[in-house]
Amino acid sequence: MNLPKKVEIIEVGPRDGLQNEANFIPTEKKIELIHTLSQTGIKRIEATSFVHPVHVPQMKDAKEVLEGVQRKEDIQYIALIPNEKGYERARQSHIDAVALVVGASDSFNQKNVRMSRRESMDRLNQVIEQAKGEGVFVRYDIATSFWCPYEGEVDPSVVLEMVNQVEALQVNEIVICDTIGRANPKQVYDLFSKVMDQSPRAQITAHFHDTYGLAQANVIAALQAGVTAFDSSIGGLGGCPFAPGAAGNGSTEDLVMMLHEMGIETGINLEKLMECVELIRPLTERPLTGHLHKVKK
Ligand code: COA
Ligand code: ZN
């Protein structure tokens, strides 16, 4: 099997994981979660998003969360932003990195950020220039890269073209997202192989949801295609309010366990990670979808 020695894991639980929770999670609990995650060996944490508080009320405390977190020098704190206003708010909170988001599917993008795909991309070009000038790390999330909840299967050539255009803007990282968790390992292998062939110098990250229980299988497929960076969410929490039916991300603890068992380093302490699972368990009304916390020792 063609496997790397080391894989990077980006924890997106505090943002992707929590954004879909119906009940507001107290700000201090979010801060505690981010703090505990920062003690696990994880080096990059998507902490919050600067979006409209009416559209995603769970993220309305983005500023307070970032003010409350005792930042560690060796951790990159990321905030998702949809537009210029989001960037401005993130900048005021002295963010290290922004995750810009554009859907490969136009219908999803309209529902998510109320802009066409073209308008989002054009407007974010200016944000990228500004962020680069200000030393802010830019990750570019291509949402619905495989399937769209409104349009069905997404044409891979659309994603390849987007990767091409985004790479030319010299962003730091491009994230190919299976937003609704509908992709299968063959689709994943095929698309990532093409992306890696086309853009060998780009930093490519994979982002899987586990709606059909295929998130970890898709990780294996992406590893085979040469991907070595993955987003995941503690406990398997998550989902997008604008992608009906989407379940949470693949769980970080299951991913770390699987990689370690396969002899792949992550730099993450699994025991410490399980403390994070225990922290979020009482915060959500939904059962956690990760497997590891259910295993009896
Ligand atoms: N944060 C807070 N407020 C924002 C904002 C942001 N990033 N962007 C715009 N606004 C405010 C504007 O200031 C304006 O306020 P006003 O009415 O007081 O003047 C109002 O929102 C309308 O601005 P507009 O640019 O027309 O935004 P919109 O109504 O078309 O909404 C988004 C666009 C992107 C802000 C909204 O669709 C959104 O927040 N989507 C959330 C996407 C998301 O989080 N998805 C899950 C993760 S992928
Ligand atoms: Zn997601």
Tell me if 85 CB under 6 Å of ligand 1: yes
| Beta-carbon contacts of residue 264 (< 8 Å; ≥ 6 apart) | 3, 4, 5, 6, 7
Distance from C-alpha of 27 to C-alpha of 22, rounded to nearest angstrom: 15
Whether 61 contacts 90, CB under 8 Å: no
| Strand bridging mode 76-81 / 229-232 | unpaired
Domain that holds residue 32: 8-295
Active site includes 240?
A: yes
Q: Which atom of ligand 1 lies nearest, measured to the CA of 80? A: 47
* pLDDT, position 25: 97
Domain presence at residue 164: yes
Q: Which atom of ligand 1 lies nearest, measured to the CA of 143? A: 48
Domain presence at residue 3: no
Q: What are phi and psi of 56, to 5 degrees?
A: -135, 80
Asked if pLDDT for residue 125 goes beyond 80, the answer is yes
Q: How far apart are the first and last CA of the chain?
A: 30
Under the banding of pLDDT at 50, 70 and 90, the label for residue 287 is confident
C-alpha 297 to ligand 2 mean position (Å): 31
Domain presence at residue 86: yes
Q: What is the CATH number of the domain that holds 131?
A: 3.20.20.70
Burial of residue 277 (number of CB atoms within 10 Å: 0-12, 13-18, 19+):
buried
Tell me if 146 CB under 6 Å of ligand 1: no
Tell me how many domains the chain contains: 1
Distance from C-alpha of 235 to C-alpha of 61, rounded to nearest angstrom: 22
**3-state helix vs strand vs coil in the chain, percent to 5:** 45, 20, 40
C-alpha 53 to ligand 2 mean position (Å): 18
| Percent over 90 (pLDDT), the chain | 92
When pLDDT is averaged across residues 114-142 and rounded to a whole number, the result is 98
Tell me if 114 CB under 6 Å of ligand 1: yes
pLDDT tens, residue by residue, 211-242: 999 999 999 999 999 999 999 999 999 888 89
C-alpha 56 to ligand 1 mean position (Å): 10
Domain presence at residue 2: no
Tell me if 71 CB under 6 Å of ligand 1: no
Distance from C-alpha of 27 to C-alpha of 30, rounded to nearest angstrom: 5
Under the banding of pLDDT at 50, 70 and 90, the label for residue 2 is confident
